[in-house]
Structure 1
Amino acid sequence: MQKTASAKWHGGIKDGQGTISTQTGVLKEAPYGFASRFEGGPGTNPEELIGAAHAGCFTMAFSLFLTQAGFTAESIETKSTVTLDKVGEGFAITSCQLDMTAKIPGIDQAKFDELSKGAKENCPVSKLFANNAKITLNAKLV
């Protein structure tokens, strides 16, 4: 399975502008630039998109782990916070924090903790970052 996305850029790093598009069209020439990445300006940025990918991937992985263990979630909500830090002469994503709240009928805390940890360690996006960024999880059962 392969999925595609693309980016276009015009101009210099600070005065230039770009767009990001995805194969599905969910993003179609979404604007991004220096201001949206480093100054809180309008538009998207790579870290925000990585966060969305990580939150979505982890949430689906957790649902899979629940299903395999005989549980069905009533709801799972995950927020991903991606940290971009200055490292040496450039920048690096140094951490990804997952904050998840789930309502799962019939599960106890120990099983919830076991399955959420397994999902964090085994979702493909977590695996992508495993050797390059610290991945942490705060999981809350409600």
Structure 2
Amino acid sequence: MKKHVIIVSTRFLKAHPRAGEFTGFPDKVLDGTKIHTLRKSYKHWKKKIDEVNAGVAELHVRTWTDRPFISPQKSIKILGKGEVGIQKCQVLADSEFVFIDDHITEQLNRFKIEENDGLSTTDFWSWFTEDAHDACVIHFTNKKY
């Protein structure tokens, strides 16, 4: 069976105001408070998620054990058929708008997106400092917006 890997960060990235601090993402994935991640390249991820939901691949959620791209990866969770989802997404950083499947999210839903990504509102918009037009929400559940 194919393995598709997606990495969640253990620490905030260098460009983030909280750079180097722990994100808590691995624990949040395990306890169900981080139920999705936003990624660029919708077409790339759509193909992979479709393979998972067809039962020919698994999605391996991992993290780095120490320094990104240098240290080994650690598996957090393995998801299979019916346990993942994907939706097209656009993030407009300057205006703090999120579009899901070409529909603008209302403020209440936007806060839910931030929360479900495992971030506070401030941390979410500090993470997404650039517009992401070809992005996606990869759900670690079969839930969708």
Give the TM-score normalised by the residue count of structure 2. 0.23
Q: Which has the higher contact order (CA 8 A, sep 6+)?
A: 2
Greater share of residues in helix: 1
TM-score, scaled relative to structure 1:
0.23
